[in-house]
Structure 1
C-alpha cells in the first residue's frame, strides 16, 4: 500500500469516524431531550395525582356536609309536619 493510499484511507476513516461521532452526538441530544420531556411528564403526573387526591378529599367532605344538610332538612320537614298536625288538631278541637 502506497503512502497516498494510506493517507486516503486515513482521511476516509477519519471522515467516517467524524460522521459516526456526529450521529452519536445527535442521538445523545435527542435522548437527553426525551429524558427531560419524560421527567416533566412525571412531575406533571405526580402533581395531578396529588391534586386528584386533594379534590377527592374535598368531594368526600362536601358529600358528607350535603348529607348532613339533607338529613337536617328532612328533620325540619318532619317537625313542620308534626307542628302543622298539632295546630290542625287544636283548631279542630276549638270548632
Structure 2
C-alpha cells in the first residue's frame, strides 16, 4: 500500500469518525431535550396529583357539610310540622 493510499484511508476514516461524532452529538442533544420534557411532564403530573387530592379532600368536607345542612333542614321541617300541629290542636280545643 502506498503512502498516498494510506493518507486517503486515514482521511476517509477521519471523516467517518467526524460524522459519527456529529450524529452522537445530535442524538445526545435530542435525548437531553426529551429528558427535560419528561421531567416537566413528571412535575406537572405530581402537581395535578396533589391538586386532585386537595380537591377530593375539599369535596369530602363540602359533602359532609351539605349533609349536615340537609339533616338540619329536615329536623327544622319536622319541628315546624310538630309546632303547626300543636297550634292547630290548641286552636281546635279553644273553639
Q: What TM bracket, shorter-length normalisation?
A: over 0.9
Q: Secondary structure, in 3 states, of the residue corresponding to 1:46?
A: helix
Gaps of 5+ in 1: none
CA–CA distance in structure 2, aligned partners of residues 59 and 39 of structure 1: 30
Pairwise CA distance, 1:94: 1.3
CA–CA distance in structure 2, aligned partners of residues 60 and 26 of structure 1: 51
Normalising by structure 1, what TM-score? 0.98
Gaps of 5+ in 2: none
CA–CA distance in structure 2, aligned partners of residues 83 and 76 of structure 1: 10
Q: State the aligned residue count.
A: 95
Task: Give 1:1-95 correspondences, 5 Å limit.
Answer: 1-95=1-95
Pairwise CA distance, 1:43: 0.5
RMSD: 0.5
CA–CA distance in structure 1, aligned partners of residues 91 and 61 of structure 2: 45
Normalising by structure 2, what TM-score? 0.98
Q: Deviations over 1:46-80 (max 9, x none)?
A: 10110001000000000000000000000000000
